[in-house]
């Protein structure tokens, strides 16, 4: 367990270095990770230089209220979908004018709630960032293996790693 926490801290610190170099501020939108992503980020000393804010939107109502996720997307695709992850990440940027980029997480951490099409361990992510001509958003899905704690921890690490790679490339 302490090894995972060490990995989390190291990945968060690497993300912070990349964001600092670009003078970008990050915002987060979390469902299945329930604030663990923002917690990992703010565990890094000096994270206030590169972290703006986090939204924990566990219910569909919170997603709609805080991030302007459309009811129609929730009805058509479900909360655990790349489409909703996209709306969550873009909702951060639309509601947090200082954030340059955002990452969202929505998934099924278990032990219950999975289906044949959306199994336990499925997590959908999106990373959004501002460009001169608007917002660019890239969705991702991953299936993690393990218990609830392991799925959520792996999702936090993946969210930070994919965000770092995208920020480095843009």
pLDDT at 1 over 50: no
Predicted pLDDT of residue 56: 98
Give the domain ranges of the chain.
1-169
Q: Which pLDDT does position 100 carry in this prediction?
A: 97
Question: 32-72, pLDDT tens digit by residue?
Answer: 999 999 999 999 999 999 999 999 999 999 999 999 999 99
Which of these, 95, 129, 126, 169, lies nearest to 24 by C-alpha position? 129
Are the C-beta atoms of residues 56 and 92 closer than 8 Å to each other?
no
pLDDT of amino acid 5: 54
- Please tell me what DSSP assigns to residue 129: E
- The pLDDT confidence band at residue 7, using thresholds 50, 70 and 90, is confident
CB 72 within 8 A of CB 80: no
Question: Residue 3 has what pLDDT?
Answer: 55
Quick check: pTM over 0.75? yes
CATH code that applies to domain 1-169: 3.90.950.20
């Amino acid at each position: 367990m302490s090894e995972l926490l060490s990995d989390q801290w190291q990945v968060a610190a690497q993300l912070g270095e990349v964001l600092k170099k670009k003078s970008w501020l990050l915002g987060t939108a979390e469902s299945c990770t329930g604030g663990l992503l923002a917690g990992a980020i703010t565990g890094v000393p000096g994270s206030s230089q590169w972290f703006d804010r986090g939204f924990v939107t566990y219910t569909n109502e919170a997603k709609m209220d805080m991030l302007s996720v459309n009811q129609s997307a929730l009805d058509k695709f479900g909360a655990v979908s790349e489409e909703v992850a996209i709306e969550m990440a873009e909702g951060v940027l639309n509601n947090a004018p200082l954030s340059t980029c955002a990452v969202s997480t929505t998934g099924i951490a278990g032990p219950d709630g999975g289906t044949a099409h959306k199994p336990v361990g499925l997590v959908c992510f999106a990373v959004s960032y501002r460009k001169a001509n608007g917002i660019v958003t890239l969705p991702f899905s991953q299936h993690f293996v393990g218990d609830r704690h392991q799925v959520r921890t792996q999702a936090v690490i993946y969210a930070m790693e994919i965000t770092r790679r995208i920020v480095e490339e843009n």
